[in-house]
Structure formats: structure tokens, C-alpha cells
Amino acid sequence: MSAVQEKLAELLVTQLGVPAEKIAPEMTYKDLALDSLALIELTMILNKELGADLGDDALQGETTLAGTVELIESQGVRA
């Protein structure tokens, strides 16, 4: 598990209350029952905590946790 993946999982659990056992790379934010407000909050947290540069709609749709990690790592962020 990469450092970015670990940090994303940690933030989902501690900041948004997602049960740790539900977190898996193939899960989408919809699968985790996160609404658009929670996704905007997560985007802001990731930008602040990791120095990522995600737009407001980066986590919308069928984005998976693995896809989010890839997007963040493609920006050169390694947590």
C-alpha cells in the first residue's frame, strides 16, 4: 500500500467516518455512501494535507479509491 493510499484511507476513517473495513481500492465514493458535500470536503482535505491540486469535481462520478490515488500520485505527490 502506497503512502498516498494509506493517507486516503486514514482520512476517510477519521474525517468522514467511513468504516475501515469498507475501504478497498476498487470501492467508489458512491459505494461508501459519500454525498457531494462530503466529496468536496475530502477534496479540500487532500489538497491541504497532501499538497494535491484536485479540482472540485475530481472525486465525482464513479471514481474509485485507486483512481484517486493514481490521480494524486500523477501530480508527483507521495505523501
pLDDT tens column, 8-18: 999 999 999 99
What is the enclosing helix (H) or strand (E) of 38? helix 36-50
Q: How far apart are CA 33 and CA 52, in angstroms?
A: 23
Decide if 42 contacts 15 (C-beta within 8 A).
Answer: yes
pLDDT tens column, 62-71: 899 999 999 9
Which pLDDT belongs to residue 39?
A: 95
Which pLDDT belongs to residue 60?
A: 86
Which pLDDT belongs to residue 78?
A: 81
Domains of the chain are: 3-74 (1.10.1200.10)
Kindly indicate the confidence band of residue 51, based on its pLDDT and cuts at 50, 70 and 90: very high
